[in-house]
Amino acid sequence: MNFLEYKKYFFINVSALWSLIVVYSIIIYSKTDYPPPAPNDFIAIGGVEIFVMILSIIILLWLFVFTILEILIRKYLIEKKFPNFKLNLKIKIPKLIVAIYNVIFSIGFSLACVLFLMALFSLFIATIMWIVKLF
């Protein structure tokens, strides 16, 4: 499968956009100075942002699962059961908009892949730590 064919899948576009949002929020969070927490604070200031970032990474993992399901459904269900079903939309889009979209998609998809691998590695480490703690 050609790399350029991936742009036609909805969840890959959503994951590319979502990864840009996650990286932007991480950059904003890293530049923000929070005061040290008081001893009687239940939740430290900045703890909510970390929770949102972890939740964003989990959402990115699910977007990749949905992407795989979308590819499998299109390849094996729709193309096999409905071989004559073709959706041809010919819309004239200016080349400048297509070029901007290609750059944003490439950056977002690359970041999504890196964040996905980091999330998988973190999940693997957390699972190993959980198993070791059980025994």
State pLDDT tens for residues 59-82: 888 888 888 888 888 888 877 777
CA distance 50 to 40: 20
Is 28 within 8 Å of 121 (Cβ atoms)? no
Q: Which residue has the tokens 């977002």?
A: 108
Per residue in 8-62, pLDDT (tens digit) is 778 888 888 888 888 887 788 777 776 666 677 666 555 667 777 778 878 888 8
pTM for this prediction: 0.67
Is 9 within 8 Å of 70 (Cβ atoms)? yes
